[in-house]
Structure 1
Amino acid sequence: MADAIMMVLREFNLVEKTLALTTNNASSMIFCDTSIAEELEREFNNLNFAHYRCAVHIFNLAVTQGIKLINESVEK
């Protein structure tokens, strides 16, 4: 995944303009972010790159879990 993202960034000359990556909380995306950050730092001396986890995705996971707990209580 990181290779594909870097390829697109290079193709559109966005590598030096890239400031951050926003993803869900999947462990594969966190690994992807680490790979991209390391490559940007190594090749382009971009030390300001940041990874943000999507707040809406986190909120959705919390609400879904809450609804599940409420439904289990109501069914009893």
Structure 2
Amino acid sequence: MSSISVRRLDEETLRRLRARADRHGVSMEEEVRRILQSAVSGPERLGDLARTTFGPTHGVELELPRHDPHDPITPE
């Protein structure tokens, strides 16, 4: 495993990082690992991103309207 050092972080960033780590019940180092991993790895599918962003765990439940089936478009 590799290591990195981050220098010259302002006090407000450190305060927010510490608070975020406390909310998640982990060390600041673990929180930084999680943030970096999340930042560099995208969702496997666009639907996963939508579900993560707007899914039921985030207070949003979308109900899609029902549509009648339609015939496929045929070229003229």
TM-score, length of structure 2 as denominator length = 0.25
The structure that is helix-richer by fraction is 1
Greater relative contact order: 1 or 2 (C-alpha under 8 angstroms, separation 6 or more)?
A: 1
Q: TM-score, structure 1 length as denominator?
A: 0.25
Give 1 or 2 for the bigger CA radius of gyration.
2
